[in-house]
Amino acid sequence: MPDYSPLKAKFGDCCLFNEPAENFTTYRAGGRAEVIVKPACKEDLLWLFSWCRTNSAPLLVLGRGSNVLISDKGLPGVAVLTERLSAISISGGTVTAQAGVLWDEVARLTAENGLAGFEKTSGIPGSVGGAVRMNAGAFGQETFDRLASIEAFDAAGNTVKLLKRDIKFGYRRAEGLEGLILLSAVFELHAGEKPSLIQDRSCVLAAREARQPLDFPSAGSVFKRPPGDYASRLIDAAGLKGCKVGGAEVSAKHAGFIINSGGATASDIYALMGEVRARVKEKTGVELELEQILLGEF
Ligand X SMILES: Cc1cc2nc3c(=O)[nH]c(=O)nc-3n(C[C@H](O)[C@H](O)[C@H](O)COP(=O)(O)OP(=O)(O)OC[C@H]3O[C@@H](n4cnc5c(N)ncnc54)[C@H](O)[C@@H]3O)c2cc1C
Residues assigned a catalytic role: 172, 221, 291
Candidates 31-39, 121-129, 156-164, 264-272: pick the segment binding ligand X (CB under 6 A).
Answer: 121-129
Judged by CB under 6 A, the residue of 131, 189, 204, 234 near ligand X is 131
Is residue 186 within 8 Å of 161, Cβ to Cβ? no
**Phi, psi of 27, deg, nearest 5:** -70, -20
Judged by CB under 6 A, the residue of 10, 293, 294, 298 near ligand X is 293
d(CA 142, CA 267): 31
**Residue 125: which residues within 8 A CB-CB, separation 6 or more?**
26, 64, 66, 102, 103, 104, 220
CB of 234 to ligand X, least distance (A): 18
Judged by DSSP in three states, 296 sits in coil
Residues 260-289 that bind ligand X (CB under 6 A): none
Size of the site for ligand X (CB under 6 A): 32
- Measured from the CB atom, is 134 or 276 closer to ligand X? 134
Candidates 1-9, 105-113, 132-140, 281-289: pick the segment binding ligand X (CB under 6 A).
Answer: 132-140
d(CA 218, CA 23): 13
- Measured from the CB atom, is 260 or 265 closer to ligand X? 260
Judged by CB under 6 A, the residue of 219, 243, 259, 269 near ligand X is 219
Binding mask 157-186 for ligand X (x = CB under 6 A): ------------------------xx----
d(CA 232, CA 230): 5
**Phi, psi of 152, deg, nearest 5:** -150, 165
Look up residue 238 and give its DSSP letter. T
Q: Find the radius of gyration of the CA atoms of the chain.
A: 19
- Measured from the CB atom, is 5 or 23 closer to ligand X? 23
As separate numbers, helices (DSSP H) first and strands (DSSP E) second, the chain gives: 8, 20
Judged by DSSP in three states, 245 sits in strand
Binding mask 69-88 for ligand X (x = CB under 6 A): -------------x------
d(CA 98, CA 94): 13
CB of 260 to ligand X, least distance (A): 11
Candidates 33-41, 62-70, 107-115, 247-255: pick the segment binding ligand X (CB under 6 A).
Answer: 62-70
> Do strands 32-37 and 75-81 pair parallel, antiparallel, or not at all (unpaired)?
parallel
Which of 235, 212, 227 shows the shortest CA–CA distance to 284?
Answer: 235
Q: Strand pairing partners for 190?
A: 116
**Residue 180: which residues within 8 A CB-CB, separation 6 or more?**
152, 153, 154, 155, 160
Judged by CB under 6 A, the residue of 15, 16, 67, 187 near ligand X is 67
Position 126 contacts ligand X (CB under 6 A): yes
Judged by CB under 6 A, the residue of 34, 39, 51, 66 near ligand X is 66
Position 68 contacts ligand X (CB under 6 A): yes
- Measured from the CB atom, is 82 or 232 closer to ligand X? 82
CB of 92 to ligand X, least distance (A): 25
Binding positions for ligand X, rule: CB under 6 A: 26, 60-68, 82, 99, 124-127, 129-131, 133-134, 136-138, 181-182, 212, 214, 218-220, 293
